[in-house]
Chains A and B, each alone.
Chain A
Amino acid sequence: MCNDRERLIDYVYGETGVEDRRRIEAHLDECHECRTEMTGLRGVRDDLLAWDVPKHEPIWRPFVPVSVPARRAWSTWALAAAASTVFAAGLAGGMAARGWLSEPADAATTMAAAVPPGEAVTTPVVVPAVTADDLARLEATLLDRVRIEMAEQLKQVQVPAQTASMARISSDAQFNGTETRLAVIEDWMDDQIRLNNIFNSKFGSLSSRTSSLSEQIELSRLQRISLDGGVR
């Protein structure tokens, strides 16, 4: 026992079984050296209790869950759906007239399907309490700007493009020459490609802006937490 310091440590910390404790206590009654050692260990443990830790204010700022209001989700999706419907209608008109441009129509469907309703906005965003409102306002402002800009540009694109197309259809009916028919078809191709490009640039821009907004919010949260997150 005298050389078994592990057992003495077990005893000092009360991590011995009943039987072992009895044996150690019986030994301590007889062994002055072990008794002195045990008293010394208990004494230093008492001294350790004096080591204070400074008082401090709470360090970590609690998380507050913030969900972006569904209103923005619905508006964004509705805008995207309306835009794709208008575009698909335009393409369908062209196809009915010429039996052509099936490929861009598929592309439009794919683009519309790539933005499921509410995906970008129903994901809860975790931000520290103080910045949540700021971020929500920032997001709302940016989305509103995108929506207005998108609606205006679509309006400008749809009217002249559809008017020009209808004019060509009626004028096309007046010509029977092969050369003339081919020229009209080329014009149609140009129109549809231009319309498609414009739509892609606007609709694609909206999609990427929506997703980049979510990324920016998450990035802002992480940056803020890294800088002062959790510290009051």
Chain B
Amino acid sequence: MTRTDEELVAAAQAGDLDGFNQLVSRWERPIFALAYRTLGREEEARDVVQEAFMRAYRGLHAFKGEAKFSSWLYRITLNLCRDWIRRERRAPLVAVPEGVDPVDMADAQVNPAESVEDLVARREMSAAVSRAMAELPEEQRVTILLKEYHGLTFQEIAEMQNCPLSTVKTRLYQGLSVLRRRLERQQKEEAALRRATWESTV
């Protein structure tokens, strides 16, 4: 039977290392995704994941379960990402795919039914979203990340960011509105570029 996070945390606090291993196994991918989307750098995201779990392990005895274990982990991860950005004085990097390699494309083709054209379009959209997100203010970006990719409730995000519920919703609304305008603009620019390329070759 699958144990809940709370049960695994209790076991780990009592010295059951396997309990902690199971927690890591369960949460490593979401934590990596959060770090990667926050920093835009894979290697740095890996470092953050490692450090986040190290801190979680060392601080587990102090975790009282007032928040969910996952929220606690997310908070540790975001703090580490923020520290890294401030220390390095670098903005989140925009992960732009380099060209279209058929082998690489085959690897990325999660759904076999997806055509290469669809896959290319999805990759372009991924890069466009990454670019647009990197330009958002930190509070809006983190709010969107926690809500869209990690499914936290407004209340959980408010507690994590130490702000009122209404602020979370405002940040989300403003962030999504800015993203929407930027993505629409990018799509128009790309369409214009494709049209110009096509006209020049005809």
List chain A positions with a Cβ less than 8 A from chain B.
5-6, 8-10, 13, 15, 40-41, 43-45, 47-48, 50-56, 58-60, 62-65, 124, 126, 225-226, 229-231
- Interface-facing stretch out of B3-11, B16-24, B72-80, B188-196: B16-24
Residue pairs across A and B with Cβ atoms less than 8 A apart, 30 shown, are A5-B169, A9-B172, A10-B154, A13-B147, A15-B153, A40-B177, A40-B180, A44-B179, A44-B180, A44-B183, A45-B176, A47-B129, A47-B183, A48-B129, A48-B149, A50-B126, A51-B126, A51-B130, A51-B133, A52-B108, A54-B36, A56-B32, A56-B46, A60-B53, A62-B18, A62-B25, A63-B57, A65-B17, A230-B50, A231-B46
Q: What is the minimal beta-carbon distance from A51 to any residue of chain B, in angstroms?
A: 4
At the interface, yes or no: B122 with Cβ under 8 Å from chain A? yes
In the bound complex, how far is the Cα of B20 from the Cα of A44, in angstroms? 37
Q: A51-B126, A231-B46 are in contact. Are A43 and B54 (CB under 8 A)?
A: no
Q: What secondary structure prevails in chain B residues at the interface with A?
A: helix
Q: What is the minimal beta-carbon distance from A12 to any residue of chain B, in angstroms?
A: 9
List chain B positions with a Cβ less than 8 A from chain A.
15, 17-18, 20-21, 24-25, 28, 32-33, 36-37, 42, 46, 49-50, 53-54, 57, 107-108, 122-123, 125-126, 128-130, 133, 144, 147-149, 153-154, 166, 169-170, 172-173, 176-177, 179-180, 183
Q: A60-B53, A65-B17, A229-B50 are in contact. Are A45 and B166 (CB under 8 A)?
A: no
| B46→A126 contact, CB < 8 A | no
Interface centre among B15, B108, B169, B177 (most CB of A within 10 A): B169
User: Which residue from chain B places its CB closest to the CB of A51 in the assembled complex?
Assistant: B129
| A230→B176 contact, CB < 8 A | no
| B46→A59 contact, CB < 8 A | yes
User: Which residue from chain B places its CB closest to the CB of A37 in the assembled complex?
Assistant: B177
Q: Which residues of A contact B107 (CB under 8 A)?
A: 55
Q: A56-B32, A60-B24, A126-B17 are in contact. Are A44 and B169 (CB under 8 A)?
A: no
Q: Which residues of B contact A5 (CB under 8 A)?
A: 169-170, 173
| B20→A63 contact, CB < 8 A | yes
In the bound complex, how far is the Cα of B108 from the Cα of A43, in angstroms? 24
Q: Which residues of A contact B149 (CB under 8 A)?
A: 48, 51
Q: Which of B20, B128, B169 contacts A9 (CB 8 A)?
A: B169
Q: Which residues of B contact A43 (CB under 8 A)?
A: 180
| A59→B32 contact, CB < 8 A | yes
Q: Which residues of A contact B46 (CB under 8 A)?
A: 56, 59, 231
Q: Which residues of A contact B176 (CB under 8 A)?
A: 41, 44-45
| B169→A10 contact, CB < 8 A | yes
In the bound complex, how far is the Cα of B36 from the Cα of A53, in angstroms? 7
Q: A47-B125, A59-B32, A60-B28 are in contact. Are A53 and B173 (CB under 8 A)?
A: no
In the bound complex, how far is the Cα of B29 from the Cα of A56, in angstroms? 9
In the bound complex, how far is the Cα of B26 from the Cα of A60, in angstroms? 11
In the bound complex, how far is the Cα of B122 from the Cα of A226, in angstroms? 38
Q: Which of A41, A47, A62, A126 contacts B24 (CB 8 A)?
A: A62
User: Which residue from chain A places its CB closest to the CB of B42 in the assembled complex?
Assistant: A54
Q: What is the minimal beta-carbon distance from A222 to any residue of chain B, in angstroms?
A: 9
Given A60-B53, A126-B17, A230-B54, output 15 extra A-B contacts at Cβ < 8 Å.
Answer: A5-B170, A9-B172, A15-B153, A47-B129, A48-B148, A50-B126, A50-B129, A51-B129, A51-B133, A53-B37, A56-B42, A58-B25, A63-B17, A225-B54, A229-B54
In the bound complex, how far is the Cα of B148 from the Cα of A5, in angstroms? 18
Q: Which of A45, A50, A63 contacts B21 (CB 8 A)?
A: A63
